[in-house]
Amino acid sequence: MERVYNFSAGPANLPVPVLEKAAKELVNYGEAGMSVMEMSHRSKMYIDIFDQAKNLLIELMNIPDNYKVLFLQGGASTQFAMVPLNLFKNKKADYVNTGEWSKKAIAEAKRYGTINVVASSEDKIFSYIPELDSSTFSSDADYFHITLNNTIYGTRYTELPDTGNIPLVTDMSSNILSEVIDINKFGLIYAGAQKNIGPAGVAVVIIREDLVGSALDITPTMLNYKTHVGNDSMFNTPPTYGIYVAKLVFEWLKDLGGVPAIQKINEHKAGLLYEYLDNSNMFKGTVATKDRSLMNIPFVTGNDELDNQFVKEAEKAGFVNLKGHRSVGGMRASIYNPMPVEGVTKLIEFMKKFEIDNK
């Protein structure tokens, strides 16, 4: 059977050359006589893989020396707790509510302190990024949290809030490595791996040095960034195989020209689909034009039955996982870095044909 075009929001498609390389090295890695999965995380061979993964990420994202890079477990969801546990001093933080993942981050942080929700786009089913008014920001907040790309609703910030000396913290799970960002604007960045980095089971944290080391006393050892910074992510067994696949993805991305190159490709891919949606008589995008995501593109026909028929027929034609999140309905095409341009152009061709056949 041929590979399908997989528009899943995550775990998502991986670059085929990465899968092929992993397959080639699966049973016997280099001269090791064993699989990466079977290696001690303390062995020189594995530490080399780990260091390459970390250094490639530093290079790709242009991460300055005063930031630490961690590969952890527990997904992005564990970061919803780790951030307040580690960054709270006044036990106060500002959050912007732009969707389900923001809400989950807010709910978790509320367990440990006072959360000021400075803005929300819930009034219009999170179809836009709210305007931020700095006069509503708390001057004594320990940090300011945003979800940079909203996987479910398909919105993304194109401008960052100016939080002055208050560290900006962001969930970058669904758009890390998809466009150039200035790390210096952030105190802490976290992301689950299963969209643009590699297989599920790895979470990446990029944290400014000065934010490490003042966790609340109640913080469990494993949830303290200091534990992981002090042991270079090897306090306990890291997700070794996932980090190895991430390394292969980073190599793939570097060969392609790095983040500036993939950003151009991503803008092209998303541009093609948005242009089609803007001109279609059947399909419509659901997001305010200025806030459209490059990674997650929700769309609807306005007719639930027709949506279901489209999803079914698309699947038969080899375009899978296009069903929208239950809170938005309709369809959603997640087109992360590994989705080839051809996947998007063929999807558009299929949509055009569906439009004609179902006039």
What amino acid positions are annotated as catalytic residues?
A: 101, 171, 195
The C-alpha angle with vertex 147 and arms to 257 and 84, in degrees rounded to 5, equals 115
Window contacting ligand PMP (CB under 6 A); options: 72-80, 122-130, 207-215, 315-323: 72-80
Beta-bridge partners for 298: 332
Question: Minimum CB separation from ligand PMP for residue 354, in Å?
Answer: 27
Whichever of 173 and 263 has its CB closer to ligand PMP, that residue is 173
> Whole-number minimum distance, CB 104 to ligand PMP, in Å?
7
Distance (Å, whole) CA 36 – CA 20: 15
Task: Give the shortest CB-148-to-ligand PMP separation in angstroms.
Answer: 8
Amino acid letter, 162: D
Contacts with ligand PMP, 23-62, as mask; x by CB under 6 A = ----------------------------------------
From 98, 174, 293, 321, residue interacting with ligand PMP (rule: CB under 6 A) = 174
Confirm or reject binding of residue 151 to ligand PMP (CB under 6 A): yes
Rounded Cα distance, 182 and 161, in Å: 13
Minimum distance from residue 171 beta carbon to ligand PMP (Å):
5
CA angle 43, 49, 52 (to 5 degrees): 135
Nearer to ligand PMP, 152 or 351 (CB): 152
Residues comprising the chain, all counted? 359
**Residues in binding contact with ligand PMP, number by CB under 6 A:** 11
Query: What amino acid occupies position 356?
Result: I
Neighbours of 319 (CB within 10 A): 22
For the chain, what percentages of helix, strand and coil (3-state, to nearest 5) are there? 40, 15, 45
**Nearer residue to ligand PMP within complex by CB, 92 or 332:** 332
Nearest alpha-carbon partner for 170 in 191, 140, 142: 191
In 193-261, at which residue ranges do the beta strands (DSSP E only) sit? 203-208
Would you say 13 or 174 has its CB closer to ligand PMP? 174
Q: Which is nearer to ligand PMP, 194 or 263 (CB)?
A: 194
CB 240, min distance to ligand PMP, A: 18
Q: Work out whether 10 is an interface residue with ligand PMP (CB under 6 A).
A: yes
What residue has token string 């305010």? 288
Between 149 and 227, whose beta carbon lies closer to ligand PMP? 149
Closest distance to ligand PMP from the beta carbon of 230 (Å): 24
Position 75 contacts ligand PMP (CB under 6 A):
yes
Cα–Cα–Cα angle for 197, 203, 205, rounded to 5 degrees: 100
Which member of 15, 113, 161, 192 binds ligand PMP (CB under 6 A)?
Answer: 192
Residue of this chain nearest to ligand PMP (CB atom): 75
DSSP string, 110-146: HTTSEEEEEEE-GGGTT-SPPP--GGGS-TT-SEEEE
Q: Annotate each residue in 260-279 with x if it binds ligand PMP (CB under 6 A) or - if it does not, as one string.
A: --------------------
Site for ligand PMP in 82-101 (CB under 6 A): 101
Q: Is 77 in the site for ligand PMP (CB under 6 A)?
A: yes
Nearest-Å Rg of the Cα atoms of the chain is 21
Cα(85)–Cα(205) distance, integer angstroms: 15
Query: Of 171 and 307, which has the nearer Cβ to ligand PMP?
Result: 171
Given a contact cutoff of 8 angstroms between Cβ atoms, the answer to whether 10 and 171 are in contact is no
Nearest to 335 by CA among 318, 319, 314, 349: 319
Residues lying near ligand PMP in the complex (CB under 6 A) are found at 10, 75-77, 101, 147, 151, 171, 173-174, 192
